[in-house]
Amino acid sequence: MDAEKQFRQVRSGQTHGGCVVTKTRQGRCLCRAVRFETSGDPKWVSFCHCESCRRALSAPVAAFASFSEDQVRFTGAAPQTFRSSPDVERAFCGQCGSPIWYRHDDLHGDYHLLLAAFEDDHDWQIEKHDFYGEHLPWLVVGDTLPKED
């Protein structure tokens, strides 16, 4: 079975055993040219305080959900990509410039999608702060989530 057909079956709730499967989420860039859809639960959801993410987004912190390659389907315009470091590729809309995802070579093709790019971004369960040692000193983080360097 090809990946596209399998993705559609998962999205519609059809599986080999007839079981209803997991949630789907849609996302997009600001101008709606780049669109994506995920199926199932993310591997992890976290804040990132690393300098690379902060500079790529021009923001004090980033928030990502990680999905395996087979959980993500892109529709619409293809995003533009660039290497922000030797091991990291980032994607953005070529029309409006909205950042969409990053991928790290060591993480076997997973897509780390920006939470703010999802259409429905209200029910994420953030698990931790990554690269907290690089956080901006003026950013007050008042939650009790684990803070990892």
Residue 56 near residue 84 (C-beta atoms within 8 A): yes
**SS3 (DSSP) at 11:** helix
Kindly give the pairing relationship between strand 44-48 and strand 34-39: unpaired
Between 18 and 128, the higher pLDDT residue: 128
pLDDT, tens digit, for every residue of 38-78? Answer: 999 999 999 999 999 999 999 999 999 999 999 999 999 99
pTM beyond 0.75, yes or no: yes
Kindly give the pairing relationship between strand 34-39 and strand 111-114: unpaired
Structural domains for the chain: 30-131 (2.170.150.70)
Share of the chain above pLDDT 70, in %: 85
User: CA-CA-CA-CA torsion for 12, 18, 23, 29, nearest 10 degrees?
Assistant: -30
Q: Residue 17 — very low, low, confident or very high, per pLDDT cuts 50/70/90? A: low
Mean of all residue pLDDT scores within the chain: 88
Going along the chain, which residue ranges are E strands?
Answer: 24-28, 34-39, 44-48, 62-67, 72-76, 80-85, 88-92, 99-104, 111-114, 128-130
Region 113-125: mean pLDDT is 90
